[in-house]
Structure 1
Amino acid sequence: MSLCVTFLGTSGAVPTVDRNPSSIAVAREGESFLFDAGEGTQRQVMRYGTGFDIDRIFVTHAHGDHVLGLPGLVQTLDFNDRVRPLSITVPRGARRQIRSLISALDTRPGFELRIREVVAGDVAYRGEEYEIRTFETDHDTRSLGYALIEDERKGRFDRERAEELGVPVGPKFSRLHEGESVELDDGTVVEPDQVVGDPRPGRSLVYTGDTRPSAETVAVADDPDLLIHDATFASDNAERATETAHATARGAAEIANRCGAKRLALVHLSSRYAGDPSAHLAEARAVFDGPEERVFVPEDGHELDLPYPDA
């Protein structure tokens, strides 16, 4: 089952020639989500081929570099004859701002916009075998992060052991894998734990949006496969990061260590670093507990498939 992340926008508040404002596309087994939609997101969707069949949009906060792409995106979806509703999830208190933004030019799409407010600790969406949870972030406005966390998967079925125990090939295999006991023709009862291994973890990814380093990011998911963290500044501007409620690359790496992240993506880079993220990479890799290649500064269009932990 696929879980693919495409970085549509990785710049900070000011876009650059090569980096668009914030937006992350996530595709999971036929479902498509956007996390934030900075200015120009619709063009990034076209440029990198993530598609306009977007199921849900999750907004971290109502700053322009995270939401100014919404009016154009909604208009384009309307031009493409969308008819099914579009769900937009926003922090509590932001519904009116987002609706006003989208309707500023009297835009009236031919589909329903469902703008829902959530608070930290909510399940923003429950899908099939996964959920998207919210967590508190530390920014200078009401803001949230989002964590996509898959359910545990069933343990592996040991066919060879089942046959040794006399279970005939067929429906009883499936019943055992679903957790049911089965009775054989001679009256022997075979229990699921005799032929099914321990549950296997699903995948998880965490997106902070804009934030200072925060314990809530650590608490939302154990050992996430991918942490996408604000790294607006390198440590040469650590005071500026604190003042503006952002993080440094080093701070992001320290949070990645604390939550046991397998990969760390540094995003929301200030335009002052332009096309040279070397300082970010050096300081993050110096403190990250893992292989250097597990820390990266994605360029716009960078695509990453997340395998299962036991793959």
Structure 2
Amino acid sequence: MLRLTFLGTASSRPTVSRNVSSLALKREGRLFLLDCGEGTQRQMMRYGVGFSLDDILITHLHSDHYLGLAGLLRTMSLQGREQPLRIWAPPGAGETLRALRDLGGDRLAFDASVHELQAGEAVEGEGFRVEAFATEHTRRSLGYALIEDARPGRFDVAAALALGVPEGPLFGRLHRGENVDLEDGRRVDPAELVGPPRAGRKVVYTGDTCPSRETVRISRGADLLVHEATFTEHESVRARETGHSTAAGAARIAREAGVRRLVLTHVSARYAERPGQLLEEARTVFPGAELARDGWSARVPFGDAEPGDPDP
């Protein structure tokens, strides 16, 4: 299972319908929080995300992306959390985040360590990694890409049965690449039954950025690109001055990178009444573009999923 829940989709300041930046990303039993604007802890409760976080990844030190961290950590401490938590951020952000972590007087009931990441470094997981990449904003910033390892090829059940392999544990051994000896003395090579390796999934979150070549590079073939779209093209000069993207600019990145799905976020308050302007603009470039809203949850299936495959 790989699922995103948008906790905050506004830029700079909250509006009536949108909180500031935060995104929950869950893969199997591991939960990541990408950015933590003010009020994130309430959004997590409101949308059923829960606080069983392993890692919080901050894209940059603009207040709408990290000020919610102090309250979230204090709440988890009051709830009796004991397991450690790791906070990741760009180079130079550690001192500020440690100071924010320590606000409130009493020590936290758990260890919350702060680590600085360079572009190209990754937070490792079982069967995947979350890789940091450089973005282009008005201060040092990172985006994050969850990249899964390659998966085994498809297992040909019909061919296995035809060879006389009984259903059960031997199927699993063959799929893992192990030779299997049958009762009649024959040895079955997994290469006879298992197709070529298949790509894992990739989800990219940009944080705040101008359109950049690095985003195109990391997003090549991504299953889902979550790209900021603070402005429309009418405000393109303002977008460049403030280190942000227009909806059309985000869509051009998605088209060039060949992503399967584009979701826009980080909506300026100037479009609070008509956020559809952003979506209309993006769809002129990338027809399948979508616009996130607070509380919206998106499942990420495998790109080669077929009817009858397990639901990821």
The answer, yes or no, to whether TM exceeds 0.5 is yes
Match of 2:45 in 1: 46
Question: Retained in 2: the 8 A contact 1:75–1:107?
Answer: no
Of 95-104 and 252-261, the range deviating more from structure 2: 95-104
Match of 1:88 in 2: 87
Change in CA separation of 1:228 and 1:169 when aligned onto 2, cut-off 3 Å: closer
Q: Which amino acid aligns with 1:101?
A: L
Alignment of 1:70-219 (within 5 A): 70-123=69-122, 125-184=123-182, 188-219=186-217
TM-score normalised to the size of structure 2?
A: 0.93
Number of residue pairs the alignment of both structures matches: 305
Q: Cα distance, 1:176 vs. partner?
A: 1.8
Q: Which amino acid aligns with 1:29?
A: E
Match of 1:17 in 2: 16
Determine which of 274, 283, 288 is the counterpart of 1:276: 274
Question: Retained in 1: the 8 A contact 2:219–2:259?
Answer: no
Question: Retained in 2: the 8 A contact 1:238–1:248?
Answer: yes
Of 57-66 and 163-172, the range deviating more from structure 2: 163-172
Q: Which amino acid aligns with 2:283?
A: R
TM-score normalised to the size of structure 1?
A: 0.94
Structure 1: stretches of 5+ with no match in the other structure:
none
Structure 2: stretches of 5+ with no match in the other structure:
306-312
Match of 2:263 in 1: 265
Of 95-104 and 178-187, the range deviating more from structure 2: 178-187
Q: Which amino acid aligns with 2:133?
A: F
Q: Cα distance, 1:181 vs. partner?
A: 2.6
Q: Cα distance, 1:184 vs. partner?
A: 4.3
Looking at structure 1, the residues matched to 112 and 187 of structure 2 have their Cα atoms a distance apart, in angstroms, of: 54
Question: Retained in 2: the 8 A contact 1:23–1:36?
Answer: yes
Looking at structure 1, the residues matched to 291 and 69 of structure 2 have their Cα atoms a distance apart, in angstroms, of: 25
Residue 309 of structure 1 pairs with residue 303 of structure 2? yes
Of 263-272 and 206-215, the range deviating more from structure 2: 263-272
SS in 1 for 2:284: helix
Identity of aligned residues (%): 51
Looking at structure 2, the residues matched to 41 and 168 of structure 1 have their Cα atoms a distance apart, in angstroms, of: 51
Looking at structure 2, the residues matched to 158 and 31 of structure 1 have their Cα atoms a distance apart, in angstroms, of: 31
Looking at structure 1, the residues matched to 296 and 273 of structure 2 have their Cα atoms a distance apart, in angstroms, of: 15
SS in 2 for 1:287: coil
Q: Which amino acid aligns with 2:260?
A: K
Looking at structure 2, the residues matched to 168 and 203 of structure 1 have their Cα atoms a distance apart, in angstroms, of: 31
Root-mean-square deviation (Å): 1.5
